[in-house]
Every structure is written in structure tokens, then in C-alpha cells.
């Protein structure tokens, strides 16, 4: 995870908000696979992007467009609370 955060700005590639790298829990940092490993994605840096734990965990292994399309109001509200 350190390498990903050393390479990219700490911006969530899913919701577009800043990530507090010191935070823990839902708004803390995690590393998301652009193409999920279960869909053949690699662990190479080019396939890894910073994401909130919340965004990452709700995306699971779905395509990003599908995650965006199925966002619930509750999830958008949770994301809006990110510091």
C-alpha cells in the first residue's frame, strides 16, 4: 500500500475525494484494483489506485461503472461525510 500512496496523490479513484492517509475505518486508505483480480487484473502498480476503504469495500469486484450506477443514496451520503 505504501508504494501506491507514494506514487499517486491520495485521492479516491472511485468517489474523487481526498483520503486522509492517517485515518482508519471507512474513510481510511486502501488500495483498489482497477481490474479486479477475480477478473484477471494484476497486482502491478498500473492496476492499483488509492481508494477509501468504504468505496473499495462497497465496490467489491464489480466494474467501476456498475458501482457508480448502483450507488444508493445511503452510500452517497456516507461518502459525502468523508473528511
Site of interaction with Zn ion (CB under 5 A): 12, 14-15, 52, 55
Shortest distance, position 80 Cβ to Zn ion, whole Å: 10
Joined grid coordinates for residue 56? 473499495
- The residue (of 12 and 31) whose beta carbon lies closer to Zn ion is 12
In the block, cell 462497497 appears at 58
- The residue (of 30 and 47) whose beta carbon lies closer to Zn ion is 30
- Tell me the residue number closest to Zn ion, measured at CB: 12
- 50, 4 Cβ separation under 8 angstroms: yes
- The residue (of 31 and 55) whose beta carbon lies closer to Zn ion is 55
How many Å apart are CA 69 and CA 47, to the nearest integer? Answer: 22
Dihedral angle, C-alpha 29, 76, 17, 39, nearest 10 °: 60
Shortest distance, position 41 Cβ to Zn ion, whole Å: 19
Amino acid at each position: 500500500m505504501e508504494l501506491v500512496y507514494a506514487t499517486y496523490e491520495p485521492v479516491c479513484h472511485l468517489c474523487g475525494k481526498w483520503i486522509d492517509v492517517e485515518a482508519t475505518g471507512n474513510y481510511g486508505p486502501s488500495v483498489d484494483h482497477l481490474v479486479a483480480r477475480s477478473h484477471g487484473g494484476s497486482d502491478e502498480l498500473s492496476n492499483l489506485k488509492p481508494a477509501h476503504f468504504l468505496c473499495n469495500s462497497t465496490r467489491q469486484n464489480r466494474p467501476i461503472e456498475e458501482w457508480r450506477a448502483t450507488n444508493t443514496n445511503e452510500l452517497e451520503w456516507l461518502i459525502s461525510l468523508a473528511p
